[in-house]
Structure 1
């Protein structure tokens, strides 16, 4: 009788434990693995379309120094005190509710001994501290937004260019993202001599920062997905603009559309080098005629 009771007691205990474990498994928090992976996957490599100038991170590469940040990548020209180009990925994963930080700062990542522009380097120059990668493209966190205010992301830009023409295309790019696309944006400047609020100038900051004659931008538009460079086809929309750096610009960016080939001819870069060469030949020769808002 005692043996039977003991067996029954053991059976009850085991059953209770099994039920308890089953409840624990049912109530265990679900780890959102897929959500994390998807979120990370949409923050893709800023150089997925290629390194336009073959920039390297050697400190002796004074004119084509590669800076790779979490928020963007760029080629920096020490003697011009500004980037040659900046490249970044833009998708919904980069956009949030972080306000504009306005904390312009010198970039401590530049090699020791190099001139480091500060916010005051532009003071009284008549030129805007023109973002290459826009503040509004990096609103996912304070760190992301602050990175866009590093002076290595700035170029001396005429006020009308920066605040009207350039801003219009930046806003349109985010409209494309809100429509379910992801973008690769490469932009920069070249030449010497622009016209700002104080008139024409070739340099500012005591000659340490070159004022460009032209500002350009290339935008590759893709539906959200992966393996992005391989998904670029001859039907992919590519927007390219080249604007003079002066105060007489039209307010609509569409007036300055050109081909990638034309920008490459002016700069010497290979802007979409990671894309299939046959595809490049088609999309780089074409001038976009799509909507502008």
Structure 2
């Protein structure tokens, strides 16, 4: 059921393959299915609306980082809508992350995209994946953990999102911003989703992107649901079953839209429309233990109160 936050709604829809979805109600993939489980669920398609957030009047003077704005860093700007959780927060040049020491990867990463962050002379050829020495050695992933596993060191905050500064791009190569990703998925369908996020900066004032891993239950032959995932390397880096992206999209007049995607960590046909991976954000919140909507509602409510005070 769609949440009704306001009388001012921006409603659009997209198809959802339920097998790609989240939680106990969205049973996972049978990896022997045609197209790795995607086509086998064609009978379970449903329409899922993009969740609208209350509009904020343009009179509000609270705005995210703008080019040339003094005293506000890009990482600070990413905090505008709060954090999905509060454990082990780390701030980098232009993204903020919550590190999960048990799984040796981030629980989530938030970044703000706009034309400025996507423009610059930074080159990933000058970057190298590196241990995060701010993480205790017991809980730290290393490059050796990935060697020979068949998994890519998949960025959560994508390197191409931070061309404005070589330091910012370098920071995306910390292994605390990396998770084991199926190479076919990482270099094709997931890359398409990352490119799509960047393309949205042409249509929205700001694009906030929160990315993270999911470890979802799957029904086994005994009929029971189990959360089962691989670990790699001597440090037992967890291999997520799925990944999510939550997009907070700001328009020029302050209206905000919310879109959320989940993609399985397995080969995915890159020709499948990205709309097929849209899911209700509640399912991501339930499966991940994170909260997005509450923070956004608090922020937009505060902005509305300020706007009303100025009227």
> 1:272, CA displacement in angstroms?
3.7
CA 1:39 to 1:94, structure 2 compared with 1: closer, same or farther past 3 Å?
farther
Alignment of 1:83-94 (within 5 A): 83-94=106-117
Specify the structure having the higher radius of gyration (Cα): 1
* Unaligned segments of structure 2, at least 5 residues: 1-65, 219-227, 302-311
Residues in 1 aligned to 2:97 and 2:290: alpha-carbon distance in whole angstroms: 13
> 1:192, CA displacement in angstroms?
6.6
Can you list the C-alpha shifts for 1:230-278, whole angstroms capped at 9, x where unaligned? x4x5xx3222111111124554322111111111111121124332259
> 1:93, CA displacement in angstroms?
2.5
Question: Partner of 1:185: helix, strand, or coil?
Answer: strand
> Relative to structure 2, which stretch is displaced further, 148-157 or 244-253?
244-253
> 1:124, CA displacement in angstroms?
1.0
1:238 maps onto 2:270 in alignment = no
What TM-score does the superposition give when structure 1 sets the normalisation length?
0.68
> 1:131, CA displacement in angstroms?
0.4
Partners of 1:91 and 1:183 within 8 A in 2:
yes
Partners of 1:107 and 1:150 within 8 A in 2:
yes
Q: 1 or 2, which has the higher helix percentage?
A: 1
Q: Which runs of 4+ in 1 moved over 3 A?
A: 38-44, 248-252, 277-280
For residue 31 of structure 1, what is the aligned residue in structure 2? none
1:266 to 272, 287, 293: 287
What TM-score does the superposition give when structure 2 sets the normalisation length?
0.64
Pairs aligned (count): 224
Higher RCO (CA 8 Å, separation ≥ 6 residues): 2
> 1:123, CA displacement in angstroms?
1.2
CA 1:76 to 1:42, structure 2 compared with 1: closer, same or farther past 3 Å?
closer
1:107 maps onto 2:132 in alignment = yes
Question: Partner of 1:106: helix, strand, or coil?
Answer: coil
For residue 206 of structure 1, what is the aligned residue in structure 2? 234
Residues in 2 aligned to 1:67 and 1:52: alpha-carbon distance in whole angstroms: 13
> 1:193, CA displacement in angstroms?
9.4
Alignment of 1:174-253 (within 5 A): 174-179=198-203, 181-191=205-215, 202-206=230-234, 208-223=236-251, 231=254, 233=255, 236-251=256-271, 252-253=273-274
For residue 36 of structure 1, what is the aligned residue in structure 2? 68
Can you list the C-alpha shifts for 1:165-201, whole angstroms capped at 9, x where unaligned? 111111112112134531111110121799xxxxx96
Residues in 1 aligned to 2:103 and 2:79: alpha-carbon distance in whole angstroms: 23
For residue 153 of structure 1, what is the aligned residue in structure 2? 177
